[in-house]
A and B are shown apart, each in its own frame.
Chain A
Amino acid sequence: MAKRKIGTRKEVFTNNDIAIHVAHLHKSFRLPTERSMSLKQTIFNRLRGVKGFKDQKVLSGLDFDIKKGEFVGIVGRNGSGKSTLLKTLAGIYYPEKGEIVIDGNLIPFIELGVGFNPELTGRENVYLNGALLGFSRKEMDAMYQEIWQFAELEQFQDQKLKNYSSGMQVRLAFSIAIRAKGDILLLDEVLAVGDAAFQKKCEEYFKSLHGNQTVILVTHSMENITRFCDRAILIENGKITLDGDPKTVAKAYKNLWS
């Protein structure tokens, strides 16, 4: 099998004003063709000289810098490469070509409530999810009450998570997530959470982030783009087609369909 190329992803801590530097970033996935998921097929494929996979290009040559303290929105259609970009920035996927430099402590929220287990109680899930964000038991103890109060679910602490409604689960996850203090936050579609009253609390939280924290937000809501972001980036077919004022980008995004 051909050796896969790898770009670089570095984490540094400097006083420069660039939080994220991305240059010539490429990423493609190997998609298995004709059921090469089994050992037998792989051996047959190799004997016959068939590759057994095809490369699917997802990001092709992205360049951008994000300044410290900037609130940047990333928009694009489904399948345009937004989530892949976010996951590559987070270090979940390796860049195939190009360079990523992250300056500061980066906390990704690709999904809320990662690791939540329906068979565990709310309390156990809080500690587990906290550990995935890097908090020790002691640190979690200190913010435990606050989390439940913010989620407004204090009376359900010792219930198993499978007995929570999906709205309750997301509220709990969101309440844990916002405790995580990092220099850079990556958020993927996590704004639409809970009922109207809870949404209001979340919005206040996002407003408080504005100006104090570097945030990259992937969303389909142009309302959120214009309301929270200083800058927006439009991605189409793995390339940046527009980078600048949120209002202009929001308009261009809506024009994609007309």
Chain B
Amino acid sequence: MKIPRVLNKKNRVLLAELTRTDFKLRYQGSVLGYLWALLRPLMMFAILYVVFGQLLRFGADIPHYPVYLLAGITMWSFFTECTNQGIQAMVVRGDLIRKISFPKYIVVVSATLTAVINMLINLIVVVIFALLNGVEPSWSWLLVPLSVLELYVLSLGISFLLGAINVKYRDITSIWDVCIQALFYAAPIIYPLSMVITSSVLAAKVLLLNPIAQVIQDIRYNLITTQTITTWDFIDNFWIKSIPIVIILIISVLGIYYFRKKSKFFAEEI
């Protein structure tokens, strides 16, 4: 696949139209429509905040804890939505794959772009909440898009890799559901990392090598409070602290390689 062909006019048109359709269909037939893109994470936030913030008293040591929690949940929802849609994209669009010839990656990218749009809307809400909560605007906010991009690359890599396997073995969808559950508790999203440190410093360090944890902590650090514990500050060894980046690179390269290799046969196997 040559670079000029990847983004030629026909492919761009197709990508834009499929994304538009996906976004429109997502909230088709619901009374509140697009508002659900906002309401879902806000409601999840409300539940988690009452349970963990108020009842269990998590995060008493973290300034702006509600916003801190919301930022984590927003990025986590983005990751789950992105990978779920991406992995299933080939199966959902099987009809197209069987009947026209086009680069298959378009289907995966268009499915994940809907999640990107939802996330951007939610991120605006996070910023509004942050300002209401008294967080001072800072230049470090400009670093947030970099972290978002990093998470998107990871999500795309997973979608390509698992999506390609899912064409033949639909078990992947169920396996990924379980993985998502495990990953949610493996990342410091609802609980503050300081809680882990009190019982084991090593465990906290291991948790921070998870790319999802690294991204979420970076976003919290740059957007909300510099009291956030990040991978970069907490781990000293340069080689060890670059593990999250290496994981993302390996998954993306492997995903793209495997997807390209298998995509020739999607039309017969789907």
Contact = CB atoms under 8 A, between A and B. Distances in A.
Interface of A: 4, 6, 29-30, 37-40, 42, 87, 90-94, 108, 110-111, 114-115, 117, 119-120, 124, 127-128, 130-132, 134-137
Given A38-B169, A90-B101, A134-B14, 12 more contacts: A30-B269, A37-B168, A90-B100, A92-B267, A108-B100, A110-B99, A120-B21, A120-B24, A120-B25, A128-B18, A128-B21, A137-B17
A93 B264 CA distance: 7
Contacts of A87: 267
A114 B169 contact: no
Contacts of B102: 132
Nearest to B172: A39
A93 B169 contact: no
Contacts of A38: 169-171
30 contacts: A29-B268, A30-B268, A30-B269, A38-B171, A87-B267, A90-B100, A90-B101, A92-B97, A92-B98, A92-B101, A92-B267, A93-B268, A94-B264, A110-B99, A111-B99, A114-B96, A114-B99, A114-B100, A115-B95, A124-B24, A127-B17, A128-B18, A131-B14, A131-B17, A132-B17, A132-B100, A134-B13, A135-B13, A136-B13, A137-B17
B10 interface: yes
A119 B268 contact: no
A92 B18 contact: no
Nearest to A38: B171
Count class of interface residues, chain B: 20 to 34
A39 B171 contact: yes
B267 A6 contact: no
B2 interface: no
A120 B18 CA distance: 13
Contacts of A114: 95-96, 99-100
A96 B29 CA distance: 45
Contacts of B25: 117, 119-120
Interface in B1-55: 9-10, 13-14, 16-18, 21, 24-25, 28-29
Given A127-B17, A131-B14, A115 B264 contact: no
Given A87-B267, A128-B17, A37 B169 contact: yes
A128 B138 CA distance: 42
B265 interface: yes
Contacts of B100: 90, 92, 108, 110, 114, 132
Interface in B242-270: 264-265, 267-269
A4 B265 contact: yes
Nearest to A129: B17
Contact of B169 (A29, A39, A132): A39
Contacts of A37: 168-170
Nearest to A127: B17
Nearest to A139: B13
A124 B25 CA distance: 11
Contacts of A90: 100-101
B98 to A, nearest CB: 7
B228 to A, nearest CB: 39
Given A30-B268, A119-B29, A132 B101 contact: no
Top-10 shortest CB links A-B? A131-B17, A91-B101, A134-B10, A39-B171, A39-B169, A114-B99, A136-B13, A94-B264, A110-B99, A92-B101
Contacts of A124: 21, 24
Contacts of B18: 128, 131
A75 B96 CA distance: 25
Contacts of A134: 9-10, 13-14
Nearest to A188: B99
Interface string B72-101: 000000000000000000000001111111
Contact of B13 (A40, A42, A117, A131): A131
B109 to A, nearest CB: 14
> Which of A38, A124, A132, A137 has the most C-beta atoms of chain B within 10 angstroms of its own C-beta?
A132
